[in-house]
């Protein structure tokens, strides 16, 4: 009897699981499907392509518009991630390990920024960046990305740092290590997973942004893929850009899917540790 109920329970949970998976994946599969359709079958409304083609991908990699945007996206997201994680790690170390005035203030400020309406920054930043001549450049986007990624980085990392058994640092010192050695050989290996997780979260954040990218750029110089997508016109005015847009969309979705597939556990722990007291 017990077996029966567990089988039934399993079946019920399995059904729910399927529901979740379908709900989560359909839009992604749909856009992937569109990206493989030929122009002729593009409008057939069929979920599975009748004729498969890679032409859409060829098209986008042939146009400078997309390749340039992809380079911008990657470069900007990587640099912003690197800086945000480094600065965030420094601040998080201080918050979780040291006692200093203004600690609460810093935590409060980063919380405020996490909730800040980004659109409120759009007009002043637009004007300030024009004056500073960084409008429509990489730094012009990297700067706001760092700013809004920092609270995320600080929360996630302080939660990670608080879990590190700092007794180990003392133990290392007793074993004859200098502060530097204690950090490099004992603490850093323990902190690395936290840094890595944070980097993924921050990267996803930067990769995802649309508002700053569309307001603080005006040409291909710094335009990132999400923005380029919305400006896609196809090769000639009369060509339907749908296939190309979908192909480009799939390309920028691939890294995210890979992250999620390989680091699911870490992403979950990173997101939740930052949000819940810990």
Partner 1 sequence: MSADTVEKSTTPTVPTQRGGRRKPPLSENKKAERKLGLLLCAPAALVMILVTAYPIIYSVWLSLQRFDLRFPDQREFIGLDNYVTVLTNEFWWTAFGVTMLITVVTVAVELVLGMGLAIIMHRTLVGRGLVRTSALIPYGIVTVVAAFSWRYAWTPGTGYLANLFSDGAPLTERASSLAIIMLAEIWKTTPFMALLLMAGLALVPEDLLKAASTDGATAWQKFTKVMLPVMKPAILVALLFRTLDAFRVFDNIFVLTAGGNETSSVSMLAYNNLIRGLNLGIGSTMSVLIFITVAIIAFIFVKLFGTAAPGSDDSERR
Partner 2 sequence: MADIVLDKVSKSFPDGTVAVQDVDLEIADGEFVILVGPSGCGKSTTLNMIAGLEDISSGELRIAGQRVNDKAPRDRDIAMVFQSYALYPNMTVRENMAFPLRLAKLDKETINRKVDEAAKVLELTSLLDRKPANLSGGQRQRVAMGRAIVRQPKAFLMDEPLSNLDAKLRVQMRTVVSRLQKQLGTTTVYVTHDQTEAMTLGDRVVIMRGGAVQQVGPPQELYDHPRNLFVAGFIGSPSMNFLHAAVQDGGLHTALGEVPLGDRVRRELESADAPRELILGIRPEHFEDAELVDDDTRRRGMEFEAPVDIVESMGSDKYVYFTVEGEKASAAELEELAADAGAADFAGAGGNLVTRLSAESTVAEGQTRRVWFNLEKIHLFDPGTGRNLTLHEGRAAGALAD
Residues near partner 2, by CB under 8 A: 165, 167-168, 170-178, 181, 185-186, 189-190
Q: Identify residues 49-88 at the interface with partner 1 (CB under 8 A).
A: 82, 85-88
Nearest to 204 by CA among 145, 119, 246, 147: 145
Distance CA 29, CA 18 (A): 15
Closest distance between partner 2 and the C-beta of residue 100, in Å? 12
Residue given tokens 């180990």 in the structure block: 168
| 233 near partner 1, rule: CB under 8 A | no
Q: Pick one of partner 2, partner 1, none as the site partner of residue 66 (Cβ within 5 to 8 A by kind).
A: none
Restricting to residues 13-52, name those near partner 1 by CB under 8 A. Answer: 13-14, 16-17, 20-21, 23-25, 27-28, 30-31, 34, 42-43, 45-47
**In the window 153-192, what residues touch partner 1 (CB under 8 A)?**
154-155, 158-159, 162, 166, 178-180, 183-184, 188, 191-192
DSSP string, 113-138: HHH--THHHHHHHHHHHHHHT-TTSH
Pick the closer one to partner 2 by CB: 64 or 167.
Answer: 167
Integer CA distances (angstroms), 31 to 55, 56, 63, 261, in order: 15, 12, 20, 19
Among 66, 152, 207, 244, binds partner 1 (CB under 8 A): 207
Q: Work out how close the CB of 164 gets to partner 2 at its nearest, in angstroms, rounded to a whole number.
A: 10
Distance, in Å, from the CA atom of 244 to the CA atom of 207, rounded to the nearest integer, reads 19
Helix axes 188-208, 138-163, angle to 10 degrees: 140
Under the binding rule (CB under 8 A), the answer on residue 104 touching partner 1 is yes
Using CB under 8 A as the binding rule, whether residue 103 contacts partner 1 is answered as: yes
Token pair recorded at residue 172: 């290392």
């Amino acid at each position: 009897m017990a077996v029966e109920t567990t089988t039934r329970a399993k079946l019920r949970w399995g059904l729910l699981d399927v529901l979740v998976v379908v709900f989560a994946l359909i839009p992604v599969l749909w856009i992937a499907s569109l990206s493989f359709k030929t122009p002729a079958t593009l409008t057939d409304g069929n979920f599975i392509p009748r004729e498969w083609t890679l032409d859409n991908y060829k098209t986008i990699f042939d146009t400078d518009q997309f390749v340039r945007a992809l380079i911008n996206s990657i470069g900007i997201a990587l640099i912003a991630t690197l800086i945000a994680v480094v600065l965030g790690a420094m601040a998080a170390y201080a918050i979780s390990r040291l006692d200093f005035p203004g600690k609460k203030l810093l935590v409060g400020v980063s919380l405020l920024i996490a909730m800040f309406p980004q659109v409120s920054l759009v007009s002043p930043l637009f004007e300030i960046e024009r004056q500073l001549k960084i409008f429509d450049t990489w730094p012009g986007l990297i700067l706001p990305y760092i700013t809004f990624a920092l609270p995320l980085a600080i929360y996630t990392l302080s939660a990670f740092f608080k879990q590190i058994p700092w007794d180990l640092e003392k133990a290392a010192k007793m074993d004859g290590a200098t502060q530097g050695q204690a950090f490099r050989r004992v603490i850093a290996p323990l902190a690395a997973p936290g840094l890595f997780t944070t980097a993924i979260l921050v990267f996803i954040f930067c990769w995802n942004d649309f508002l700053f990218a569309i307001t603080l750029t005006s040409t291909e110089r710094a335009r990132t893929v999400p923005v380029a997508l919305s400006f896609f016109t196809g090769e000639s005015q009369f060509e339907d850009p749908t296939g190309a847009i979908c192909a480009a969309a799939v390309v920028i979705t691939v890294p995210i899917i890979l992250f999620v597939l390989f680091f699911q556990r870490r992403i979950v722990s990173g997101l939740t540790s930052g949000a819940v007291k810990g």
